[in-house]
Amino acid sequence: MAAVNTTPRQKVGWGTANFVVIALALIPVLWIVSLSFKTPTAILDPSFWPAQWTWGNYSGVLETSTFIRPLINSIGIGLIATFISVVLASMAAYAVARLRFPGKQVLIGLCLLLAMFPLIALVTPMFNIERAIGLFNTWPGLIIPYVAFGLPLGVYILSAFFREIPWELEKAAKVDGATPFQAFVKVIAPLAAPGMVTTAILVFLFCWNEFIFAISFTSTIASRTAPASLAFLSGSSQFTVPTGPIAAAATVITIPIIIFVLFFQRRIVAGLTSGAVKG
């Protein structure tokens, strides 16, 4: 409809706007990728694309455990934290959206508090607590805070999703003799699956991206995550410029997540905006 009365000038105008957006979004990423293919001498040349291309930075980074181990930590910690977070958030969101019980406000208040929480305010006390109870520099030492900060996101998104579910089905299941718990597991959970996938993606992205806790609650590659390990790659190669290896490592942790984001973009957009529009 709109296309009928568009002038060529409008087409050029919007085409330019599209081009500007795409260029601004992609150029900084392409720069990191380009750096990761530069040889140590080519790094000292400010041209955007490498004069000679090399895989050396990648083989260097992927051969040492200083980066591989954090990569495994990142994936493991991210997946476990995401799984626990989504399970706990679905339970709570179901209760918030569906059940009548006193104390609901406490949960909502807590979620709100955590959603706005300055992470740095937790670093000092958690650092001391984790050292005292032996969680410092372990996987659970990062998983537990990640679960906690994934929860508000999960409760918001999932309770929004749960409201859209046709609840007559649950009633029908109860009429057929299902307990409330069975009704939740057998009827509602499958219907809520898209919401849970959305939540899982956003929580995983949060864990993958998180940096303050990752550098504060870890001290060795036993539990350090990939973003935190970037800051320590600098020291690994004393006599070469670490720019290339860091760029290669940055690319390794970036490209899969970009593919992931592009693949799930509809769900991500739905999840990010579900809270805001209704507010």
Amino acid identity of 254? T
Q: The tokens of 225 are what?
A: 């995550």
Minimum CB separation from other proteins for residue 175, in Å? 13
Q: Which residues contact 142 (CB under 8 A, 6 or more apart)?
A: 77, 81, 213, 214, 217, 218, 223, 225
Nearer residue to other proteins within complex by CB, 65 or 273: 273
Nearer residue to other proteins within complex by CB, 59 or 273: 273
Give 143-171 as a DSSP string.
HHHHHHHHHHHHHHHHHHHHHTS-THHHH
What's the CA gap between 275 and 80, in Å, rounded? 25
Report how far apart, in Å, the C-alpha atoms of 268 and of each of 30, 79, 279 are. Answer: 23, 17, 18
Nearer residue to other proteins within complex by CB, 238 or 277: 277
Minimum CB separation from other proteins for residue 77, in Å? 14
Amino acid identity of 266? R
Report angle CA 132, 135, 139 to the nearest 5 degrees: 170
Nearer residue to other proteins within complex by CB, 45 or 63: 45
Q: Count other Cβ atoms within 10 Å, centred on residue 125.
A: 9
Q: Are 84 and 140 in contact (CB under 8 A)?
A: no
Minimum CB separation from other proteins for residue 269, in Å? 6
Minimum CB separation from other proteins for residue 111, in Å? 6
Minimum CB separation from other proteins for residue 91, in Å? 4
Residue whose tokens read 């990142």:
74
Nearer residue to other proteins within complex by CB, 92 or 221: 92
Minimum CB separation from other proteins for residue 76, in Å? 17
Nearer residue to other proteins within complex by CB, 99 or 238: 99
Q: What is the CA radius of gyration of the chain?
A: 23
Task: Please state the length of the chain.
Answer: 279
Minimum CB separation from other proteins for residue 222, in Å? 18
Which stretches of 37-175 are DSSP H helices? 40-43, 56-63, 65-98, 104-116, 120-132, 139-163, 168-175
Minimum CB separation from other proteins for residue 164, in Å? 7
Nearer residue to other proteins within complex by CB, 3 or 175: 3
Q: Which residues contact 5 (CB under 8 A, 6 or more apart)?
A: none
